[in-house]
Amino acid sequence: MTERQLLIGGESAGGYMTAIVALRIRDELGAIDRVDGLNLVFGVYDWGRSPSQRGLRPHAGFDILDPDGIEFFGNCFAPNRSGDERRAPEISPAYADLRGLPPSLLSVGTCDHLLDDTLMLASRAAAAGVDVDLCVLPEMPHAFMIFDCAMTKYWVDRTTRWFDARLAKASE
């Protein structure tokens, strides 16, 4: 592995932190060229509460998150701020300028209350010219990888292939 091979990623709060850190690496350090990829797994990218966070999901299946819990987390994270204030780009990466970010793999399940966050970040990143690979797993909840099933095995294989491709490209 060369010094230039750096992939960063996380799940849930870690996905959020990865997106924010990538934006800061780009904006504050001017070093986004050192990051070869972002692995963003079902993060909160809209702290102003996307429709799925409020319970408006395309699938009513089981999820470990619920609208009340998400509202509680948001109030702890950004107290005394309105939904519009929480959508400031430095708080909610879905509203940031996403140009120049490295290739990104975004993963989420259709039962996840953070589905809209991932879909919005993926579409805005793609519109900004970012190489986006979106993996939406049918009927899977938040933290879907804890379930041993065909969908999670597919996700692990797809994620591994994505990592391998990024690392191979970075070593060229």
What is the model's pLDDT at position 1? Answer: 43
pLDDT for the residue 148: 95
DSSP 94-126: GGS--TTPPPEEEEEETT-TTHHHHHHHHHHHH
- Nearest alpha carbon to residue 63 among 3, 143, 170, 136: 143
pLDDT of 3 reads 58
Helix (H, G, I), strand (E, B) or coil at 19: helix
Region of 44 please: left (phi>0), alpha (psi -120 to 50) or beta: beta
Domain segments of the chain: what residues? 7-170
Q: So what's the architecture of 7-170 in CATH? A: 3-Layer(aba) Sandwich (3.40)
Are the C-beta atoms of residues 128 and 55 closer than 8 Å to each other? no
Q: Considering the chain, what is the average pLDDT of its residues?
A: 95
pLDDT higher than threshold 90 for residue 113: yes
6-56 pLDDT per residue, tens: 999 999 999 999 999 999 999 999 999 999 999 999 999 999 999 999 999
Give the model's pLDDT for residue 171. 75
Q: Are 59 and 110 in contact (CB under 8 A)?
A: yes
